[in-house]
Amino acid sequence: MDSVAEIKSRLSIEQLVAEYCQLQKKGRNFVCVCPFHNDTHPSLLVSPDKGIAYCFACQSGGDIFSFYQKIEGVEFSQAIKDLAEKAGVTLPKHEFAPKGPSKDEKERLRECLNEAMVFYCESLKGNQIASEYLRGRKVPASLIELFGVGFAPDSYDATYTELLKKGFSRSEIMKAGLGIQKELKEERIYDRFRNRIMFPIKDTLGNLIGFGGRTLGEDDAKYINSPDSPLYNKSVALFGLSYAKEAIRKEKAVILVEGYFDVLAFHRIGIENVVAVSGTALTEQHVAILKRTAETLILCLDQDTAGREAAERAYLFAKTQDLAVRFLRVPQGKDPDECANMAPEEMRKAADQKGVPYFDHVLSELAALRPEKRAMLRKILPLLTIIPSAVEKEDCIAKAAALLGSTVIALNDDLRREQEFLRRRNEEQGRTITTAAFHPVELLLGLIFTYPQHLTIVNELVAPDAEKPKALYHALRALNLGERGAITEEDVPENLREYAAVLHLYCEEQFGTWSEDLAGVEIRKLCAKVNRDVLKQKQQELIEGIKEARSTGKKMEEEKLLNQYQQVLKLVSIAP
Ligand SMILES: [Zn+2]
């Protein structure tokens, strides 16, 4: 058995998907909310029999490798390494091993970052001011070690020089985001991070992808982050996630805080389901990632204008993806970091209670501020329209009406107007998800897998033009089932198995309840339609060709095409 097959045999698709999504049983399959699009009901179908997880709404997924590549954003070579490890399969050295100098670019950049991290950690140990600073902020040594917190020396090129020494090229150091060129024509490279406390930022698996740095000097930018690179994408990266994963799964909730020190503050009091964005506001992608394991997003953000805006934005994204949103107000101090120092016990208690529903939090803020009614409505209506659950919405409307001194009926009226306005705006923007779009010939092939008794119908099918359907068509034509009642995986060439399984799964779901006779009738009808379409297109192409040949005086060519045209006509007349 080759490595791919062995990994597949040991790691089931449902096992892998369950690490990211909450599966529900549905007949022989499982379903879950699709992590690849803004899904509102469970669209991802997971078939243990076929080893496939696929969303027909956004056309994403496939076998364990495809699913993993897509959800982790990695190449096949990385997927096979990671999944081999998960499945406990040892990969043979010659296979998939990076080849000499052309070693995967990402791998090199990762090594470069790792060397930088080692360097920063060493520098921290040797620098009294930096160590003193962390002590002052009450970060214990255990967390410094766990998170790999370090220090970038106050030097123009100490990091750069160190990395050159370790064998990284100028361009690799630049690409890893660790060096900058002040001006294009200037040759000299400067360290991007100077005199800063360094926080390594990791992906969900714990691989280093970038850094965030907090200045110890008078620098205008208190915090700076790695620039986006082949490894680091700030709209996806979440600081602390790899340490939070288990706790999020257990609590089914994740706490979102503003900064690196806030994440450490929660860890300090023993709460681990906490993450922070780095160098950007929360994005839809961040929410989609958190949604894989969390049901509730707990916002623990500053109470200033920027913090309020960030919270509202987070609420809107999270609600559209049907996450519950709560707000955790720190019991003392201005942020979790301060609070963990001043009142750790109270903060732990507040975190255990998971704060209050975000909507209630907004209402209580409005109740305290008492702006004029119109301003209140402007604040409340957008929050209400986004709530997917009717029950929850009713509840919120009642609370809001009470605060406004209005009635539920009046507020519902305003809400309908707001919704109508939003609906029209959305329509104008045309933001819809493309739905399942298989070509009819693909449906036909999928139906053959679902109803293999009708395999011989493929003999009546005109060969498709597109590459994959064509290859599958030929594989099926070459097949002789004999006494067997089903088409098995081995009947299909390896490179087409995933494709065939996706088509099979789709047809089984959509049309799996037909009787054998009905299936025969439907498949034949579809076959006729496909043939008609193909022949019509061929005819059209030939007519164009004949015209062209005639106008340029190519007699032979015209003759040949006319001949073909006659044959197609004949085919049309006998096609089923
Ligand atoms: Zn999807």
Spacing, Cα 286 to ligand 1 middle (Å): 16
- Cα-trace Rg, the chain: 30
Q: Which helix (H) or strand (E) holds 411?
A: helix 408-429
Spacing, Cα 38 to ligand 1 middle (Å): 7
Spacing, Cα 45 to ligand 1 middle (Å): 10
Spacing, Cα 288 to ligand 1 middle (Å): 11
Q: Looking at residue 437, what is its pLDDT?
A: 58
Task: Name the CATH architecture for the domain at 3-87.
Answer: Alpha-Beta Complex (3.90)
Spacing, Cα 490 to ligand 1 middle (Å): 28
Residue 219: strand, helix, or coil: coil
For the segment(s) 103-225, the CATH number from 3.40.50.720, 2.30.30.100, 3.90.980.10, 2.60.40.420 is 3.90.980.10
Spacing, Cα 433 to ligand 1 middle (Å): 9
Q: Sign of the C-alpha dihedral, residues 37, 38, 43, 48?
A: positive
Q: Looking at residue 38, what is its pLDDT?
A: 74
**Residues with Cβ < 8 Å from 522, sequence gap 6 or more?**
447, 511, 514
- CA distances in angstroms from 6 to 199, 360, 492, 495, listed in the order given: 38, 52, 18, 16
Spacing, Cα 383 to ligand 1 middle (Å): 25
Spacing, Cα 54 to ligand 1 middle (Å): 8
Spacing, Cα 475 to ligand 1 middle (Å): 29
- Look at residues 304, 410, 396, 322 and name the one whose alpha carbon lies nearest to residue 359: 396
Spacing, Cα 321 to ligand 1 middle (Å): 12
For the segment(s) 254-429, the CATH number from 3.40.1360.10, 3.40.50.620, 3.40.190.10, 3.60.150.10 is 3.40.1360.10
Spacing, Cα 87 to ligand 1 middle (Å): 26
Task: Count Cβ atoms below 10 Å from residue 462 Cβ, excluding itself.
Answer: 18
Measured between alpha carbons, how far is 64 from 54 in angstroms, rounded to an integer? Answer: 10
Spacing, Cα 235 to ligand 1 middle (Å): 19
Spacing, Cα 71 to ligand 1 middle (Å): 11
Q: What is the chain's length? A: 576
Cβ proximity of 293 and 245 under 8 Å: yes
Spacing, Cα 61 to ligand 1 middle (Å): 8
Query: What's the token pair of residue 13?
Result: 């698709």
Spacing, Cα 435 to ligand 1 middle (Å): 9
Spacing, Cα 437 to ligand 1 middle (Å): 13
Spacing, Cα 174 to ligand 1 middle (Å): 36
Q: Looking at residue 101, what is its pLDDT?
A: 36
Spacing, Cα 494 to ligand 1 middle (Å): 25
Q: Looking at residue 171, what is its pLDDT?
A: 86
Spacing, Cα 57 to ligand 1 middle (Å): 5
Q: Which residues surround ligand 1, an ion (CB under 5 A)?
A: 34, 36-37, 55, 57-58
Spacing, Cα 135 to ligand 1 middle (Å): 47
Residue 181: strand, helix, or coil: strand
Per-residue pLDDT of the chain (576 residues; tens, 9 = 90+): 688 889 999 999 999 999 888 899 998 899 998 888 877 778 899 999 999 999 988 888 999 999 999 888 888 888 999 999 999 888 886 555 444 334 577 888 999 999 999 999 999 999 999 999 999 999 999 999 999 999 999 999 999 999 999 999 888 999 999 998 876 566 788 999 999 999 999 998 899 999 999 999 888 889 999 988 888 888 889 999 999 999 999 999 999 999 999 999 999 999 999 999 887 888 888 998 898 889 999 999 988 888 888 899 899 889 888 899 999 999 998 889 999 989 999 999 999 999 999 999 999 999 998 888 888 888 899 899 888 888 899 999 999 999 988 889 999 998 888 888 877 775 654 433 333 457 889 999 999 999 999 999 999 898 888 889 999 999 999 988 877 778 888 889 988 999 999 999 989 888 888 888 889 988 998 898 888 888 888 888 888 888 888 888 888 888 888 888 888 887 777 655
Spacing, Cα 244 to ligand 1 middle (Å): 25
- Any alpha helices (H) in 252-321, and if so which ranges? 260-268, 284-291, 305-320
**Residue 88 φ/ψ region, left for φ over 0, alpha for ψ in the -120 to 50 degree band, beta for the rest:** left
- CA distances in angstroms from 538 to 462, 527, 543, 545, listed in the order given: 11, 16, 9, 10
Q: What is the DSSP string of 40-56?
A: SS--EEEETTTTEEEET
- Look at residues 376, 356, 267 and name the one whose alpha carbon lies nearest to residue 315: 356
Q: Looking at residue 329, what is its pLDDT?
A: 92
Q: What is the DSSP string of 494-528?
A: GGGHHHHHHHHHHHHHHHTT--HHHHHHHHHHHHH
Spacing, Cα 445 to ligand 1 middle (Å): 23
